[in-house]
Amino acid sequence: MEKTVVKVENLSHRYGGSQWAIKDISFDIRGKGVLGLLGSNGAGKSTTMNIICGVLNQTAGNVYINDIDVRQHPLEAKRYLGFLPQKPPLHPDLTVDEYLTYTAHLRSVPGDEVKRAVGRAKEKCGITHFSQRLVRNLSGGYQQRVGIAQAIVHMPQFVVLDEPTNGLDPNQIVEIRHLIKELATDHAVLLSTHILSEVQATCDHIKMIEHGQLVFSGTTQEFDNYIEPDALVMGLETPPSLEDILSIPGVKSAEPIEPPFIRVKFSGSTDVVKRLVEKSVQDRWQLTEIRVERSSMDEVFAELSNKKNKPK
């Protein structure tokens, strides 16, 4: 089994007052790949990430990075952690080389390895040709690359990116997503985002937090399939009467849509698809297409957001 890089154990936090910002969150991050952290505004994502990154002390629970307790041994744990906050901590008056050299020192990279570490991070992030450019004179997309370079300059096993494509233009977004996928071949990446298409494009796994609690944990495909399908669309050149379709076990309703399509609602398993195909061949309905209608990521997100499990 892949090594556990991050262990979050019964994490709870209260900012004061009686309301829990997060309550009893537990999960592991293993190996490499991109894990998407999802949730509505105020769900508790930043609170969770800030605690994991050692920026905020939790009210209860534990976080371990590489088996090191972040609260007990923050400096040691942070050796294995790279963080790109929502607002990248850039120094606009430094050149890219100066800035990355500075962050490598901050990250305790040994003196004789700094140059190599900076060179490697620049190459990974595609910014080598801007080494001598002042950070302030880079485009938003390239500034974000510099932000990512500082997060990986010390080759941490675990990288946290908080809404890394925020404010970028569509081309820059595609490029940064590509870069994140590449990073995930060497690092475990935790990506916080509001954008579901971003999750679909980049993430292997998803954790979703709502009202401070974990409401989903699984692969991106499992998230996609979270709502069981209950409808399919058939294209029929010689359609039968709707009664014929309704007579098939499992079919609940049938309604014509744009010709030659008919939407069929069903209950139970998708075995009904097999029965419909068999019947269409037998009775010569001239089936041209049949597809199960799956819920979109937005619908799954909305369904999970509405889970009524607010913390006490």
Ligand X SMILES: Nc1ncnc2c1ncn2[C@@H]1O[C@H](COP(=O)(O)OP(=O)(O)OP(=O)(O)O)[C@@H](O)[C@H]1O
To ligand X, the closest distance from the beta carbon of 302 in angstroms equals 16
- Specify the residue, 24 or 98, whose C-beta has the smaller distance to ligand X: 24
- Specify the residue, 50 or 202, whose C-beta has the smaller distance to ligand X: 50
- Specify the residue, 42 or 259, whose C-beta has the smaller distance to ligand X: 42
To ligand X, the closest distance from the beta carbon of 204 in angstroms equals 21
Q: At 81, list the tokens.
A: 């952690």
Q: How many residues bind ligand X (CB under 6 A)?
A: 10
The one-letter amino acid at 166: N
Q: At 89, list the tokens.
A: 């901590």
To ligand X, the closest distance from the beta carbon of 102 in angstroms equals 28
Which residues make beta-bridge pairs with 161?
84, 191
Cα 67 to Cα 26, 36, 257: the distances in Å are 15, 22, 57
21 binds ligand X (CB under 6 A): yes
To ligand X, the closest distance from the beta carbon of 244 in angstroms equals 50
| DSSP β-ladder status, 81-84 and 287-292 | unpaired
Q: Which residues 251-310 are close enough to bind ligand X by CB under 6 A? A: none
207 binds ligand X (CB under 6 A): no
- Specify the residue, 49 or 100, whose C-beta has the smaller distance to ligand X: 49
To ligand X, the closest distance from the beta carbon of 223 in angstroms equals 17
Q: Which residues 33-92 are close enough to bind ligand X by CB under 6 A? A: 39, 41-47
* Cα angle 200, 228, 260; round to 5: 90
Cα 3 to Cα 33, 56, 82, 246: the distances in Å are 13, 26, 18, 52
- Specify the residue, 41 or 185, whose C-beta has the smaller distance to ligand X: 41
15 binds ligand X (CB under 6 A): yes
Q: Which helix (H) or strand (E) covers residue 291, if one does?
A: strand 287-292
To ligand X, the closest distance from the beta carbon of 194 in angstroms equals 6
- Specify the residue, 145 or 211, whose C-beta has the smaller distance to ligand X: 211
**Where do the H-state alpha helices sit in the chain?**
45-52, 74-78, 96-106, 114-125, 140-152, 170-183, 196-202, 220-224, 242-246, 271-282, 297-305
Q: Which residues 107-166 are close enough to bind ligand X by CB under 6 A? A: none
Residues in touch with ligand X (CB under 6 A): 15, 21, 39, 41-47
